[in-house]
């Protein structure tokens, strides 16, 4: 039997997380290319997911470090939704997906990998993007590099 390896997933899977908040740290560093922040808005930013479900999987996150959408101001909430819409439009132009999954995972039991800093996932979907690999090999095949996705998406998120 052949084995497929995805060692890049291990840091995400293991239970002990590094100190601090990966979203806050990325936003503060101002190294957008390195941290894969494709757009900065007034109260939120759009960042590529470092552990994507599909190519071009982005997250919209507030600069405020909060664990619930109810903790955001009206302005932060409005800007959050505006950037979700903008991300969808840019992903349509850059990658022509057939559809999208969008949403928040609130709490660890709901699948939140970063449970104390809310963010909305925007996952582009294509016909046939699911296959036997995740089921049989517990491995997701991503068809495009993070660098390529960043460059394409950055072009449409201005």
57, 80, 119, 121: the active-site residue: 119
- In the sheet that 120-125 helps form, which strands lie side by side, from edge to edge? 37-40, 44-48, 58-62, 120-125, 99-103
Q: What is the rounded distance in angstroms from the CA atom of residue 77 to the CA atom of residue 101?
A: 19
Closest by CA position to 143, among listed 39, 50, 53, 32? 53
Q: CB under 8 Å to 134, separation ≥6 — which residues?
A: 140
Residue 5: both structure tokens together: 């390896």
Does the active-site annotation cover 119?
Answer: yes
Q: Are 83 and 40 in contact (CB under 8 A)?
A: no
Residues annotated as catalytic are 119
């Amino acid at each position: 039997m052949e084995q497929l390896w995805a060692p890049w997933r291990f840091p995400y899977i293991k239970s002990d997380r590094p100190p601090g908040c990966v979203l806050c740290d990325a936003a503060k560093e101002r190294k957008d290319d390195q941290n894969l922040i494709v757009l900065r808005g007034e109260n939120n930013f759009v960042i590529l997911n470092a552990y994507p479900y599909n190519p071009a999987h982005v997250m919209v996150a507030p600069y405020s470090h909060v664990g619930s959408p109810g903790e955001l101001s009206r302005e932060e909430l409005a800007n959050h939704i505006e950037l979700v819409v903008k991300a969808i439009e840019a992903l349509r132009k850059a990658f022509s997906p057939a559809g999208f999954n969008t949403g928040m995972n609130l709490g660890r039991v709901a699948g939140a990998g970063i449970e104390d800093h809310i963010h909305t996932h925007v996952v582009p979907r294509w016909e046939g993007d699911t296959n036997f690999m995740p089921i049989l090999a517990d491995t997701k095949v991503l068809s495009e590099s993070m660098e390529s996705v960043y460059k394409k998406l950055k072009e449409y998120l201005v």
